[in-house]
Structures are given as C-alpha cells and as structure tokens.
Chain A
Amino acid sequence: MTENIKTVKVRPQPKSETGKHIIIVRVQHNFGVLTRITSLFAGRGYNIESLTVGKTHEPNVARITIVVEGNERVVEQIIKQLRKLIETLRVRDITTVPHIERELALIKVHAGEEKARDEIMRLVNIFRAKVVDVSVDTYTIEITGDSEKLEAFINLLKPFGLKDIARTGVLALTRESAKEGLQEHKVE
C-alpha cells in the first residue's frame, strides 16, 4: 500500500458552473444590518455586482437583492454565510426560478445638435424610456427594465456622449405562478 504513494492521486471535484446569481435576503431591519452584509462580502472576497435594499410591507423587515457573479460553490458558500448572520430571516437564490427583474437608470446624455436630439428621441421611444429633464445641450432619460435592456440602451447612447448615469441596481420578485417551484439552496 505504501508503494502507490508516489503516484499522484487527486480528489474528484464536482463541476461548478460560473454565472450570475440573484439572491434575495430578508433581514430584520436593525441598525447596521446592511453593513454586516457588505462587510461579509468584503471580508470573504466575494464580489457584489449590485445590491439594493428597501423596506417591505412587514414592519421591521428589509429586503435586499444582491446580484453576484460566481461559480456555484462560491454562491452556495455566500448563501450559507448570509444565513449564518443572526439578523437574516430568509435567503433565496431565485436565479433558476421564473422571476421579474427590473432596474431603473437615469442617464444624462449630450444632445446639443438637432440631429442628435432626434436620434435620441427615437431610441427613447423604441426602448419605452422617458425624457425627464431637458437642457440646451442635454437630455436626462429615465429607463426601467432588466439589466440587459439597460445595457443595450446605454450602449446605443454612448456615441452621443454620456455625461452621467445613476442606476438603482437590480430588483427582483418571483412570479407568483412559479411559487411552487421555488428552489432553495439546501444544505442537505
């Protein structure tokens, strides 16, 4: 038995695919709870793509939507670490269940010449966006949609010259029709 020790043997590892995950965290809305979550991500070296937080219909409960990019093993660990926080009520990864995903962006774009103003207005209409502020040489546009739609819109505006962008980060709710299919990351 001791002879074979010179041949290298490696533990087989299950496959773990990398991708974007949307994680919903419900927490007790206590002082400092958001810091606990962000410092957990920072301390363990997890990257947050976006994070939004807001009140819910229940008193003292806040809902946090986190988008992370990572392989399944890392995301599983993130979820477990989030669950471990004392103030966490529930954690769900809704990536694989049907859900509605929305983000809002305010985009300030150069629009000095008439040609540019026309072209931008056409894009605004196609994307069902809205011009919410106008100055001599800028438009400020409000748009909602999923992240892909926003990215596409912003890319199309780039040639005109972007002045500033404010984005809310992703919000998500599961589709009621898909409720039974809710997939929780279970340890066992």
Chain B
Amino acid sequence: MPKKRGADIVIDVLLEEGVDTVFGLPGGAIMEVYDALFDAPLRNILARHEQAAAHMADGYARATGRVGVVMATSGPGATNLVTGLATAHMDSVPLVAITGQVPRNYIGTDAFQEADVVGITRPITKHNFLVTDIKDLALILREAFYIARTGRPGPVLVDIPKDITQQEYNYKMPTEKDVQDALPGYKPHYEGNPIQIKKAAELIRKAKRPVLYVGGGVIIGNASEELRELAELTRIPVTTTNMGKGAFDENHPLALHMLGMHGTYYANMAVYHSDLLIAVGARFDDRVTGKIDEFAPEAKIIHIDIDPASISKNIHVDVPIVGDVKNVLQKLLKELKKKPVEWVKARESWLKQIEKWKEKHPLTYQKSDKIIKPQYVIEEIYNITKGEAIISAGVGQHQMWAAMFYKYKYPRQFLNSGGLGTMGYGFPAAVGAKLGRPDKTVFAIEGDGSFVMNMQDVITAVQYRLPIKIAIINNEFLGMVRQWQQLFYDSRYSSVCLAVHPDFVKLAEAMGAVGLRATKPSEVREVLQKAMEINDRPVIMDFVVDREENVLPMVPAGKSYREMIVSPKQKGEAETMYLVG
C-alpha cells in the first residue's frame, strides 16, 4: 500500500464509515484535509458559521439516524462548535467533529489560532481525542464513529494537529474488531435483565392507572413499532416528552401528547394520578417532572434506558431495566403475551377518566380573525403539509407551539434542542435535515429572536438550492422570557423587546431567498401556499403574530403539576394561576 497523507487517511475513514456529506468551513489548521476533500467522492456543505455547521450535522443526524460529521479549523473554528456539540450531547445525537489543531511543536505556545479544544469540549462530548501520532489516526477516527453511534449516542471530537494531516504514513484500515479491542472499557449494555423484565410485566398486569412516559430514546433506538404494539396490547395511554415527539402517532386514540411544563392538561393529570409509570428512553428531566417530590406521587416506576447513569439520577425507580429500548420492549411484549390479557378490561374506567380530562381542557387557544395567533400558523402548517413534513424548531415559545399544535406521526419528524435549549438551532438543523431527507418537506419554525441567531446561513441554503420553508413566528419579543416576566416578574419587560428587526422579506431577497409576509389571519394560508410552490431556494415567511400570546398550559418551574396554569383568565396577572380540578 502506498504511503498516504494524514489528510487522505481522514477522507478514507469517512468513506469507510459511509459518510457522503460533511458540514464545515476550512481554515489554516484543517486546510490539508480540505485539500484531500477537493477530489474526494463526498460533499462538503460550506456553512457560513461553524455553529450553524454543527447544527446542520446535528439536524442531518436526527433526521436520518446516521452519524453527522462536522469539520472546523483550530481555535475560533473549533470554539464556534461548542454550542453545537453541547446541544448534540444533551440530546444524544451521534456526531463526529473533526477539528484542525496547530502543529504539534506549536501546541502549548499560544500559537496563532491555538485553543485547548480537547479541554474545552471534554464535558460536552461523549468522548474526545487529540491525535498525537499518525499511527493512531485511522484507529482514533474509527473509534470516534463507533463511540458516537453505539450505546447512548453522542458527539465525539477528534482534534488533529496540522503536521499530522501533512505527514505521510503507510497505514491499514482498522477493522471493527481493532476498534473494540482499543476500547476495552466501553461495553454498552443492550440486553435487558430478564428478571427485571418479568417484574415489569407483573407490575403492568396489576396496574389500574398506568401511563407510558416516552422519551427520545424510543426514536434513537428505532423502537416506535414495539411501543405502539405495547400500548395497544395493554391499552396504556402514551405521553411523550418534547424529545419523544413522533415516537408515537399523536393522532392515535391512546396519545396523551406532551407532558411536563408545557404538557397537556390531560397528560399531566394522567401522570399525576397514575399508579404505574413506565418510562421508556426518557430521563426525568426537570422540565418534565416539575417539583420532583410531587411527581407522580402514587406511581410505581419502571424505567427502561440504555444509560445506567440515567436511572435513579433524578428520581428513585422501582424497576430499572438497562438496555436497548427496542430489545427490552420486544422481550417485555413476549413476556406479557405469555398469559392471557383479560386484565386489560380493567383499564377502561381509567381511559374513560382520561377522556373526561381531554374534554375538560383540550389543547386549544383563543382564536381570532383580526390578529394572527401563533398557534393558528402552526395548525395551518400542519394542514398544508398534511402532517407529513419534518419540522425543525428553535427555542422559545414558537418551539412549544410547534410541539403542541403540529401532530407528529413518525419518528425523526420533529427536531429541536430539547435538552440544552439552544436558540438558533432550528434553521441550520433544517438545512441538515433537508440534505439528509431531500424527499421530505422541511419546515424551520423559528422565533424572531431564535432565527436571527443563525440567519447568516440562509446564504448556505441558497447556495445549495435547498427549498426550506422558514416560518418566523414574529412577536418582536424574546417571547418565552417575556412570558415569564409577565407571570413571575410583575410584567417588567426587561431587555426582551425586539422591535428593531431587519425587514425579513427584504433580507430574504437580499440573500437570494424568497420573502413573504402575513400580518392578518386571512393571509396565512396564502403565504403558506406560495411558499409550498417554491422548490429551488429557501423561503422566509414573516408571520406577524399576537405579541403577548402565552404558551399554556404551564407548570411553573420547580412547581408541582397541581399548580398548573391552564388558561389565561386575566392577562398579565400572576394571580391568574389557579389549581386545576
């Protein structure tokens, strides 16, 4: 085998791993890799900011289930990845980040564009590497892909000094076995313990008021089919977290939709009154549980998760099952089917009670024909896309409305930064999603505050002729902060007013995209129809909405579900909070 440059080895490993798209920007320390990329059979999507590149790779990974790859140069290139890596880390997204580093003999000298990137990214990656010898380069890169996609997935960063990318070496492509041998302590646990599974089945048989609480793990673990089968077999209603949206068809009669801070009344009531909570690929996040002592106070808890550290971290669990959710659910189904399932009949009164809650407080909002209600825009996006689009959201009020008012049918249909809560995530993630799933309509539902954090990369979408539909829910506020200020800070709107914006229609045109605007409810549908007709470039839709609409229901941070605010009795007064029931 002829000698190859380190940079060529990088490309070889990417191809070996089946990568066809990478996202990134070149710079001094990674130039050699970009030189090797020049005539390699894979494409680089030239983002305009490394943070956007990281979110693109993340959106690509979430929409396809494959490992996303992002590349950046040393120093500022790599530090710009930080938010993207932390976002992917919190939401268990498989990413491999390849960063250039200054040549080895410059490391530690405060060289130009030098930063301790391995040090900076250590707590926000699943693992990271600094390559110090070209002999290890191929193996480390393969380890990175292996770690990123197995177990509980996550981002892995490989920092490569420039001189190693230039050095020549006669290498052999490491095998999967070489990779596993190099990682003797890394053994993800896939098989659930059969005794625990038996115990879980017993609890399920006995439960009178059970609820399935489903998180992103079901999507990552491709276990939606098993979940649906379990819910239907046992007649257990399903509530999903924000990350779990799409794991269970939201039009299904057993769907309770989202739980937690902005969960539905009926989901939260069901969880509060449940006697058995079956958590599947979820992690009892504070946005889900509220006040932890009063979360599902009467329920026994079964927790299925691939990450042992997620179990009994926030809440004590009665039956923990560590394993791959698909594997565990299959075994649980088998176990349940061993005996006749007449016990299911006892569930009917519980399901009736849930129906009553659904009737009492359905997910709704005050409609208007004078002013555009943000929820209305989401409903219209749902209608025009027939519920089939991939929706990518930023972070804030619009994200919650996108979660609540679009009914998701499939896994990998709703992309958003659930864990880290990264504003500016939605649009670049949509770029990655569209590149990974060109067959799908992709909507970026963005807030005005969120969108402007990464709007420079509209240029990238124009360059690659990506027909992404960007719907800005424009209330000229950092809306979620404003809502909290209204409810908890006596309406003192400190630094949340975004009255000064660019003209988004003109901005779109200046960037080579299409700009549209709706200021009246009657214009919403028309704008969406026009946007759907465009198929060769992105379109920015500026929906000028009711400025002070709130996201409801809401369980205030750290409070019990008992203190859920269900509807706005009097606008602007914290006293509008009332106990449900």
Taken residue by residue from 16 to 41, chain A's Cβ proximity to chain B (1 for < 8 Å, 0 otherwise) reads as: 00000000000110011001100110
Q: Is B123 touching A11 in the complex (CB atoms < 8 A)?
A: no
CB contacts (< 8 Å) of A14 on chain B: these are 316
Is B581 engaged at the interface, CB distance under 8 Å to the other chain?
yes
> Which residues of A have CB within 8 Å of B130?
31-32
Q: Is the CB of A188 within 8 A of B185?
A: no
Given the complex, which residues of A lie within 8 Å of B193, measured CB to CB? 188
Judge if B166 is at the interface, Cβ distance under 8 Å: no
Tell whether A86 pairs with B313 under 8 Å between CB atoms, given A5-B580, A188-B320: no
Per a CB cutoff under 8 Å, which of B126, B297, B307, B322 touches A9? B297
A84 to B184, CA, bound (A): 13
The answer to whether B580 and A84 have CB atoms under 8 Å apart is no
CB–CB B123/A187 < 8 A: no
Q: Are B185 and A28 in contact (CB under 8 A)?
A: yes
Tell me the complex Cα distance, A86–B560, Å: 37
| Of A74-82, A119-127, A158-166, the one touching chain B | A74-82
> Is there a chain B Cβ closer than 8 Å to A8's Cβ?
yes
Taken together as a complex, chains A and B put the C-alpha atoms of A11 and B308 apart, in Å, by 22
Size category of the binding interface on chain B: 35 or more
Contact flag A27-B185 (CB < 8 Å), given A5-B272, A80-B309: yes
Q: Looking at the assembled complex, report how far the CB atom of B202 sits from the nearest CB atom of chain A, in whole angstroms.
A: 16
Nearest chain A residue, comparing its CB with the CB of B143: A86
Residues of chain A at interface, number, CB under 8 A: 35
Q: Which residue of B lies closest to A27 (CB)?
A: B185
A77's partner among B293, B313, B580, B581 (CB-CB below 8 A) is B313
Query: Min CB distance, A76 to chain B, in Å?
Result: 7
Contacting residues, chain A, for B183 (C-beta < 8 A): 86
Q: Say yes or no: A35 contacts B122, CB within 8 Å.
A: yes
Which residue of A43, A81, A86 is within 8 Å of B309 (Cβ)?
A: A81
* B189 to A, closest residue via Cβ: A187
Are B320 and A187 neighbours in the complex by a CB distance under 8 Å? yes
Q: Assess A2 versus B147: contact at CB under 8 Å? Given A8-B562, A9-B294, A86-B127.
A: no
Chain A 166-183: CB-based contact to B (< 8 A → 1; otherwise 0): 000000000000000000
Q: In the complex, what's the smallest C-beta–C-beta distance from B8 to chain A, in angstroms? A: 25
Within 8 A of A (CB), among B372-402: none
Q: Which residues of A contact B127 (CB under 8 A)?
A: 86
Instruction: Name the 6 nearest CB pairs between A and B, nearest first.
Output: A9-B297, A2-B581, A80-B309, A5-B581, A89-B185, A187-B308
List 4 additional contacts besides A10-B294, A11-B294, A90-B185; criterion CB under 8 Å. A80-B311, A84-B307, A86-B185, A187-B308
Binding site for A on B (CB under 8 A): 118-119, 122-123, 126-127, 130, 132, 147, 183-186, 193, 196, 269, 272-273, 292-298, 307-309, 311-313, 315-316, 320-322, 353, 560, 562, 579-581
